[in-house]
Amino acid sequence: MLRKFLLQASTRRNFTASSSSSFAFFRQCSSSSQIPNSHFVEHLEDSAESPPSATISIDRTALYNPPEHSHEQSAESELVKHLKNIIKFRGGPITVAEYMEEVLTNPKAGYYINRDVFGADGDFITSPEVSQMFGEMIGVWAMCLWEQMGKPNKVNLVELGPGRGTLLADLLRGATKFKNFTDSLHIHMVECSPTLQKLQYQNLKCMTENSSDGNEEKRIKSTIAGAPVSWHASLEQVPTGLPTIIVAHEFFDALPLHQFQKASRGWCEKMVDVTENSSFRFVLSPQPTPATLYLMKRCKWADSEEIAKLDHIEVCPKAMDLTQEISKRIGIDGGGALIIDYGLNGIVSNSLQAIRKHKFVDILDNPGSADLSAYVDFAAIKHSAEEVSGVSVHGPMTQSQFLGSLGINFRVEALLENCTEEQAESLRTGYWRLVGEGEAPFWEGPDNQTPIGMGTRYLAMAIVNQKQGVPVPFQ
Ligand code: SAH
């Protein structure tokens, strides 16, 4: 199946063309570049209504740039007032995790809630938006796992934090020839943002129909592959009882984390407070906080020498708890999960960053108007999953190894066989962005500091039901 998939020329190989000079930067914090929002003919049709837009690409992983403050005088936003009220009524500072959760996902004013962060006015671009090949290769992974699962005729395919829905749209388009697979799918989107839910509905080319059994309930299905689609605010709400394939791409990096700093009195939690002149500032907790339990748990998984070298440590209890929830579900219902994100296979020290309008900014500056994200601690995910019985953990391996072993080289060659020069250039650039480690050979951008591919900064890890054996390409 793998070979057949990779070599069959896509019926939608008319990628959105873009000139080489438009790829000025790859997720790198700096001046603007135009990134194609989409890759397929259908998207070009969409763009007839809304013309292609300039999107700035940001590298949230490059931490070189000094933070900048905005010096604009602006009225306090609802979110800023809300955060100050929490601190005031609590009678003291809040944790960085509480701050991060409010800033990103506050139901009224959180960063993700009311905007398309990937669009023309967005701040960064992710792998699925770089090239259709990314979603297609995740499709290859999912189909291979489905085969290892014994080709069940009903499967929950869950995506955590689907953004614009591009990954699943590309996965389904690439898989349409494998009808037994697509017919088995019920798609579940775990998404907190109503704005992004609407975009996902559009990009999956959904339609709403009356339920066949005559009751009031409406059914939504994606017309790309005919699969039913449902939306949920959390994984907990996704029905259990069916074998499940879970994909989490750039989801864990947005989960709220606690920051600890070594002080003369030991490890203290970094907290967010308000000064007398009403601006936010960091303070250190005078005594141990509840999250210290998670710090202790995390430190037990690390070498004492590794800890001794650090004066900051980030701990993400939500990532640990979510990993256990995923693992329990997979241990009981069967299936597997794929987590891809930028991060380290070890303890993370001090990686939280804020990005607004294509620049790194102060984490405390005008919260809610900038993205916050941090490196993912893959070692903590692995240890958390291994505490659950019935699952095995594989990886992490680099994105470059992961996509390479799945055969992205064959895929790009197959696509290159029948396309225009412009499309070929877009394909090659996308390919190198996904797998490149350093300067990409096809790069013609004006800045010689960059580009850097996502090939080694991003890691892939799988958690699968032990019965399925080792998933591709982790053998
Ligand atoms: N996977 C996509 C988007 C990554 S950005 C891509 O690679 O392009 C993070 C996504 O997770 C957004 O869709 C955001 O709205 C969603 N998200 C962040 N925190 C969430 C939470 N706590 N619950 C549900 N969705 C969340």
Query: Once rounded to an integer, what is the mean pLDDT over residues 360-367?
Result: 92
pLDDT (tens digit per residue) in 172-187: 999 999 999 999 999 9
User: Where does the pLDDT of residue 58 fall: very low under 50, low under 70, confident under 90, or very high at 90 and above?
Assistant: very low
- Rounded to the nearest angstrom, the distance between the alpha carbon of 417 and the centre of ligand 1 is 35
In the chain, the largest separation of any two C-alpha atoms, in whole Å, equals 68
Q: What are phi and psi of 452, to 5 degrees?
A: -125, 130
**Does the pLDDT of residue 446 top 70, yes or no?**
no
Binding-site residues, ligand 1, Cβ < 6 A: 104-105, 112, 126, 128-129, 161-163, 190-193, 196, 249-251, 254
Higher pLDDT, 128 or 439: 128
pLDDT (tens digit per residue) in 285-334: 999 999 999 999 999 999 999 999 999 999 999 999 999 999 999 999 99
Higher pLDDT, 129 or 184: 184
Query: Once rounded to an integer, what is the mean pLDDT over residues 360-389?
Result: 95
**Does the pLDDT of residue 211 top 80, yes or no?**
no
**Does the pLDDT of residue 146 top 90, yes or no?**
yes
- Rounded to the nearest angstrom, the distance between the alpha carbon of 251 and the centre of ligand 1 is 5
User: Could you tell me if 25 and 443 are in contact, meaning their C-beta atoms sit under 8 angstroms apart?
Assistant: no
**Does the pLDDT of residue 448 top 70, yes or no?**
no
Query: Once rounded to an integer, what is the mean pLDDT over residues 157-162?
Result: 98
User: Where does the pLDDT of residue 452 fall: very low under 50, low under 70, confident under 90, or very high at 90 and above?
Assistant: low
What is the model's pTM?
A: 0.86
d(Cα 13, Cα 5) in Å, to the nearest integer? 14
| pLDDT for position 116 | 84
- Rounded to the nearest angstrom, the distance between the alpha carbon of 169 and the centre of ligand 1 is 16
Residue nearest to atom 20 of ligand 1 (CA): 192
| pLDDT for position 35 | 28
| pLDDT for position 221 | 97
Instruction: Write down the mean pLDDT value for the chain.
Output: 84
pLDDT (tens digit per residue) in 92-125: 999 999 999 999 999 999 999 988 877 556 777 7
